[in-house]
Amino acid sequence: MSDRTRVETLRAAAQRLREASHSTTPDRWQLLSYQIVATFDDDCEDITEVALTYGHEANARWIALVGPLLAEPLAAWLESVAALQFGQVPLPDSPIVDHALKVAGVILREAT
């Protein structure tokens, strides 16, 4: 588990969303087949060609649904929840804060 405060966790997740989305194809993602394709060069460092096949249509639909266009609104929501902290007054205990922290934990791959 991280040593971040709750506000730092929310802001770090928002930043990770923005950074990850900036390196993706900027258009709306859509399900064209049941394959998601990424490519790598000979050294496997830069993207240039490998195909990953997902066995279930539902998985491919989910991946297309949560494409990079969702990153900015989700990051803004996380930051708006973080902004509920005023000065030294901690974030309030509320379902909204709890849900935001759970989303942030998933994004940061941390237990919440």
- Residue numbers of the domain that contains 15: 1-26+68-112
12-57: pLDDT as tens digits: 999 999 998 888 876 776 666 555 444 444 444 433 333 344 456 6
Same domain, 112 and 73: yes
CA–chain centroid gap for 89, Å, is 27
49 and 83 in a single domain? The answer is no
CA dihedral 99, 101, 103, 109 (to 10 degrees): -150
Determine which of 51-55, 75-79, 89-93 has the lowest per-residue pLDDT on average.
Answer: 51-55
Structure tokens at 99: 């849900």
Domain check: are 47 and 87 in the same one? Answer: no
Question: Do 60 and 85 reside in the same domain of the chain?
Answer: no
**What's the pTM?**
0.71
Whether 48 and 21 share a structural domain: no
Chain centre distance of CA 27:
16
In this structure, the answer to whether residues 22 and 36 fall within a common structural domain is: no
Domain count, the chain: 2
CB-facing half-sphere around the CA of 56: CA atoms within 13 A: 4
